[in-house]
Amino acid sequence: MEYVSTRDSSRKVSAAYAIAHGIAPDGGLYCPTTFPALTADDWQALQARDYKGRAALILGKLLTDFSAEELAAYTAKAYADEKFGGADTAPVVALGEGRHMLELWHGPTCAFKDMALQMLPHLLTASLRKTGETRTACILVATSGDTGKAALDGFHDVDGTKIMVYYPVDGVSPMQKLQMTTQEGKNVEVVAIRGNFDDAQSAVKRIFTDEQTRAALDADGLMLSSANSINWGRLAPQIAYYVSAYCDLVASGAVEMGAPINVCVPTGNFGNILAAYIAGQMGLPVHKLICASNRNDVLTDFFRKGGVYDKDRPFYATTSPSMDILISSNLERLLFFLSDGDDRLVASLMAALAQDGRYQVDDALFAKICASFDAGCCDDETAAQTIRALWEQQHYLCDTHTAVAVHVYEDYRARTGDQTPTVIASTASPFKFCRAVLEALGGTLDKDDVSQLDALTAFTGVAAPAPLAALAGKTPRFDRVVDKEDILSTVALLRDL
């Protein structure tokens, strides 16, 4: 397997190189030049394996410069039972009316980011070795809340790495903030940025493309890398759980082998849903990919209004903060795939986005996009009603992000009449967004944020995940807040870690 940048496909690199560097020097994202196909034998093997074995098989198809033994060892560590609460790593729960919830939040930080970020440190340190890299990798992360903590948990005290997380100061939930600012480890730093997630993400991209900064770091034996979903090493592990969910659906008799499913994903940076698209290209029978957004509906408009991507619109802070994003980075990869690798086109669309805040794809490309995707959005009030209805009708507790997807799916099903069984990605534990979930259920909100966990347990009888309960009484270690214009000055902090 070879990888190229979405903006210049003339230079081919290995998977290890793409993972070690995170982003291409031209600002593009690394993509495979072909999609490996899952054979009938692969499907048979997949069905017989547990999650760790399934993930190792899928990754082996994509990361051909890693041996089967290496990948089996990494998935055994990343998805160890003690990290995922001993439960199924990514269980599927049927709710009727076509809804199959793929619960991706049983890992150490209680959001789906763990599925990739428990793997990435293994992939990244091996990639540094494989590419002959001797410098220390400095992982820079822009987070809308969940990536930050999951990356800190994955990388803390990992030899040969340092990690710095930037989060929007008023753009994360109190629980998310507490999770990040109490992170332990010698090689970690957490910085709040005045602005929203897009400001944080753009500022981090500025560090990556600043030649002077890179040269200064290089002189100190440091190199930059990324744990955001722009890094192929983040995306590849996410492909596995869609394939695994399909195996589970076949095993439970919910679908027959070979029959199609839909996948509905609460979407922000477009990484998770893109992983489902790639699974489809590898042979997972997918009918429609349904992209669910909150009130920040830039993607809904793109898919439903003629392929115009226009980020020039109000930014809303919602009860699903991990989806409060107007620049969905991984859409760039979809454009690259669907234009048959037209790097010039992608480079010009991304230049237009940077300059004018908008671009439009042509009719032929838009038709291809519509063949695979549908989309919808949902405001906070509707998400809250969905949480309440699921609880009252099914006794199923879901978080605010997942609720957006459930509503958008129900809306899609009513609108189209499509009865295809649908995997809905459940991306966070409801306890991570306790206040909003309690409020949706009509519970009382008179306590501070960590105590809300007990209130939600008292109200529902559902126990809070242990890693969140353990936050009570922890003291924050990090309180630095900087303006986005000053982000380059924070790079110096890396030297002292």
| Rounded distance between C-alpha atoms, residue 192 and residue 181, angstroms | 10
Q: Closer to ligand PLP by CB, 131 or 382: give it.
A: 382
Tell me the C-alpha distance between 426 and 92, whole Å: 9
How far apart (Å, rounded) are the C-alpha atoms in residues 18 and 67? 17
Q: Which stretch binds ligand PLP (CB under 6 A): 30-38, 268-276, 338-346, 353-361?
A: 268-276
Identity of the residue, 187 or 231, whose beta carbon is nearer to ligand PLP in the bound complex: 231
Our finding on whether 296 is near ligand PLP (CB under 6 A) is no
Q: Please tell me whether residue 272 binds ligand PLP under the rule CB under 6 A.
A: yes
Contact 181, 173 (CB under 8 A): no
Q: Which is nearer to ligand PLP, 151 or 243 (CB)?
A: 151
Please report whether residue 428 would count as binding ligand PLP according to CB under 6 A: yes
Map the footprint of ligand PLP across residues 137-156, applying CB under 6 A: 146
307 CB-near residues (< 8 Å, 6+ apart)? 360, 361, 362, 363, 365, 366, 369
Distance of CA 204 to the CA centre of its chain: 17
For position 267 contacting ligand PLP by CB under 6 A, the verdict is yes
Look up 288 and say whether it is catalytic: no
Nearer to ligand PLP, 8 or 301 (CB): 301
Q: In a 3-state reduction of DSSP, which class is residue 340?
A: coil
Which residue of the set 12, 52, 83, 113 is catalytic?
A: 113
| 268 contacts ligand PLP (rule: CB under 6 A) | yes
Q: Which of 14, 179, 181, 322 binds ligand PLP (CB under 6 A)?
A: 322
Q: Please, which residue, 322 or 386, has the CB nearer to ligand PLP?
A: 322
Q: Which among 120-128, 159-167, 264-272, 475-483 is the span making contact with ligand PLP, rule CB under 6 A?
A: 264-272
- Return phi, psi of residue 329, to 5°: -55, -40
Residue 106 makes contact with ligand PLP by CB under 6 A: no
Provide the token pair at 232. Answer: 């192929």
| Residue 311 binds ligand PLP, judged by CB under 6 A | no
List C-alpha distances in Å: 491 to 162, 187, 368, 443, 469.
Answer: 12, 14, 42, 43, 33
> Whole-number minimum distance, CB 148 to ligand PLP, in Å?
10
Proportion of the chain in helix, strand, coil states, percent, rounded to 5: 50, 15, 35
User: How far is Cα 90 from Cα 376, in angstroms, rounded to an integer?
Assistant: 25
The reply on whether position 467 binds ligand PLP by CB under 6 A is no
Q: Is 56:42 a contact under the CB 8 Å cutoff? A: no
The verdict on 111 binding ligand PLP (CB under 6 A) reads yes
Question: If binding is defined by CB under 6 A, does position 176 make contact with ligand PLP?
Answer: no
Footprint of ligand PLP on 217-236 (CB under 6 A): 229
For residues 452 and 444, give the distance between their C-alpha atoms in angstroms, rounded to a whole number.
9
Q: C-alpha angle 263/243/237, rounded to 5°?
A: 100
In the bound complex, what is the minimum distance in angstroms from residue 200's beta carbon to ligand PLP? 13
| 266 binds ligand PLP per the rule CB under 6 A | yes
Of residues 113, 162, 333, 407, which one binds ligand PLP by CB under 6 A? 113
Burial of 465 (0-12, 13-18, 19+ CB in 10 A): buried
Residues that bind ligand PLP (CB under 6 A): 111, 113, 146, 229, 266-272, 322-323, 401, 427-428
Active site residues: 113
